[in-house]
Amino acid sequence: MDFTISNRIQTIVDMIQEFVEAELIPLEPDFLAKDFRELLPVLREKQEMVKKMELWAPNFPVECGGMGLSLLEHGLVSEALGRSPLGHYVFWCQAPDAGNVEILHDHGTEEQKQRYLNPLVMGEIRSCFAMTEVDMPGSNPVMLETTAVKDGADYVINGHKWYTTAADGADFAIAMAVTNPEASTYRQASMIIVPTNTPGFNLVRNIPVMGHEGSDYFSHAEILFEGCRVPQKNLLGPEGHGFVIAQDRLGPGRIHHCMRWLGIGQRALELMCKRANERVISPDGRTLGSQQTIQNWIAESTAELHAARLLTLNSAWQIDNYGAAAARDSISTIKFMVANTMNQIVDRALQVHGGLGMTDDTILAFFYRHERAARIYDGADEVHKSSVAKRILRKLSKS
């Protein structure tokens, strides 16, 4: 495989890096101190700038208004954007909208594309994805209690979801619900588009996560579907194909997350180095960076980030060339490996900052709080490790 970066992509990555540095990082103190909604006007201005630079929606297909980058190319862009928590949102390639665009593009009807996909790609509306349930194990998503029962020309949905990221302010949800309880395990559930203003779509609360309930895009909601009635034409893809479509969504989505985490890891490493160079710890002028423990952390973090980046690019390359199914083990491996690498580096960087690291005067405490979840969502570490190990054991038992 060849990871040579073309001049075009290098130029794009450089432009994005400059933009993040000049336009988004200066907004972070407000991002940390204020309600996210208060930032929306200034973020819209930044989004207009991104559109003018023709860097809007880097991973979305060209025919619906994106840049149409390959997964490998988008991986590189995603790392540059990941340096700031605002990056993906301002360039419009944030989860869960990015995944919803992909599945609407691949599985939506013409009517669904007109009504939901086109305005979503243009940034006129937002969406969310409601699969995980309060009383069921998200780690085994075939265990769903939410049902969608046919009644006349409609589905009537009942169920209790949570962790529906960005539901607050979203125009529609893609909900996973059991439509075919008699079918085989993986054919029981379907994806259904539910406009959030439908009666019976009840946003109970934004869940406080690590002490912060957030708002609008930066929030995770608990949703109660109570007799929520939507037309059957809101079914996305064939009935009973919810898990098949979910698989399409999760492979590339994990590359996006991993590359974003690499951007976070790289920023944390740079903050660690800056602090190590500047913090004087003895009267003779020695700095933190003169201490071997800190040097070890810097060297180890650099090596770990580089290894994680190469593994992630390799997975993206496999998906681009052979499809997500062929890259299954690779995707699972990077999912737990990169999440832990990023968490470890953020932890070291915070430690190097001492008391300052615990404050919101740097972005590190935000990363520490919010990115801990990387080891849980899109498959917990243990589940990915177990599935990789099982396949290796099966393969070796045959040889």
Ligand X SMILES: Cc1cc2nc3c(=O)[nH]c(=O)nc-3n(C[C@H](O)[C@H](O)[C@H](O)COP(=O)(O)OP(=O)(O)OC[C@H]3O[C@@H](n4cnc5c(N)ncnc54)[C@H](O)[C@@H]3O)c2cc1C
CB 312 within 8 A of CB 338: yes
Window contacting ligand X (CB under 6 A); options: 45-53, 274-282, 295-303, 376-384: 376-384
Our finding on whether 383 is near ligand X (CB under 6 A) is: yes
The residue within the footprint of ligand X, chosen from 31, 91, 163, 225 (CB under 6 A), is 163
Our finding on whether 178 is near ligand X (CB under 6 A) is: no
Residue recorded with tokens 């893609």: 174
Our finding on whether 148 is near ligand X (CB under 6 A) is: no
The residue type of 393 is L
Interface with ligand X: number of residues (CB under 6 A): 20
Distance, in Å, from the CA atom of 386 to the CA atom of 254, rounded to the nearest integer, reads 17
Closest approach, Cβ 234 to ligand X, in A, equals 18
The residue within the footprint of ligand X, chosen from 220, 254, 275, 328 (CB under 6 A), is 220
- SS3 (DSSP) at 197: coil
The residue within the footprint of ligand X, chosen from 10, 11, 321, 386 (CB under 6 A), is 386
Our finding on whether 142 is near ligand X (CB under 6 A) is: no
Our finding on whether 131 is near ligand X (CB under 6 A) is: yes
For residue 167, give both structure tokens.
């539901």
CA distances from residue 230 to 8, 71, 159, 175 in whole angstroms, order as listed: 45, 34, 14, 11
Window contacting ligand X (CB under 6 A); options: 35-43, 145-153, 159-167, 210-218: 159-167
Distance, in Å, from the CA atom of 257 to the CA atom of 374, rounded to the nearest integer, reads 8
Our finding on whether 129 is near ligand X (CB under 6 A) is: yes
Distance, in Å, from the CA atom of 14 to the CA atom of 4, rounded to the nearest integer, reads 15
Distance, in Å, from the CA atom of 133 to the CA atom of 225, rounded to the nearest integer, reads 11
Window contacting ligand X (CB under 6 A); options: 8-16, 67-75, 113-121, 124-132: 124-132
CA distances from residue 168 to 129, 134, 218, 382 in whole angstroms, order as listed: 12, 18, 9, 30
CB 396 within 8 A of CB 341: no
Closest CA to 259 of 61, 98, 107: 98
Residue recorded with tokens 């075939």: 142
CB 71 within 8 A of CB 78: no
Our finding on whether 164 is near ligand X (CB under 6 A) is: yes
Distance, in Å, from the CA atom of 162 to the CA atom of 130, rounded to the nearest integer, reads 7
Closest approach, Cβ 16 to ligand X, in A, equals 24
Distance, in Å, from the CA atom of 53 to the CA atom of 68, rounded to the nearest integer, reads 15
The residue type of 305 is L
The residue within the footprint of ligand X, chosen from 78, 100, 146, 165 (CB under 6 A), is 165
With respect to ligand X, which residue has the nearer C-beta, 75 or 214? 214
Distance, in Å, from the CA atom of 197 to the CA atom of 192, rounded to the nearest integer, reads 15
Distance, in Å, from the CA atom of 227 to the CA atom of 188, rounded to the nearest integer, reads 20
Our finding on whether 247 is near ligand X (CB under 6 A) is: no
Binding mask 199-218 for ligand X (x = CB under 6 A): ----------x---------
Closest approach, Cβ 265 to ligand X, in A, equals 18
For residue 65, give both structure tokens.
């208004």
Our finding on whether 132 is near ligand X (CB under 6 A) is: yes
CB 157 within 8 A of CB 174: no
With respect to ligand X, which residue has the nearer C-beta, 249 or 275? 249
For residue 101, give both structure tokens.
């665009």
Closest approach, Cβ 161 to ligand X, in A, equals 7
Window contacting ligand X (CB under 6 A); options: 17-25, 123-131, 149-157, 288-296: 123-131
Window contacting ligand X (CB under 6 A); options: 65-73, 347-355, 357-365, 374-382: 374-382
Binding mask 263-302 for ligand X (x = CB under 6 A): ----------------------------------------
Q: Among the residues of 203-241, which ranges form H helices? A: none
Which residues between 52 and 111 bind ligand X (CB under 6 A)? 96
Our finding on whether 377 is near ligand X (CB under 6 A) is: yes
Our finding on whether 186 is near ligand X (CB under 6 A) is: no
Window contacting ligand X (CB under 6 A); options: 7-15, 27-35, 70-78, 129-137: 129-137
Closest approach, Cβ 168 to ligand X, in A, equals 12
Other beta carbons within 10 angstroms of residue 399's beta carbon come to 4
User: Residues interacting with ligand X, by CB under 6 A?
Assistant: 96, 129-132, 137-139, 163-165, 209, 220, 373, 376-377, 380, 382-383, 386
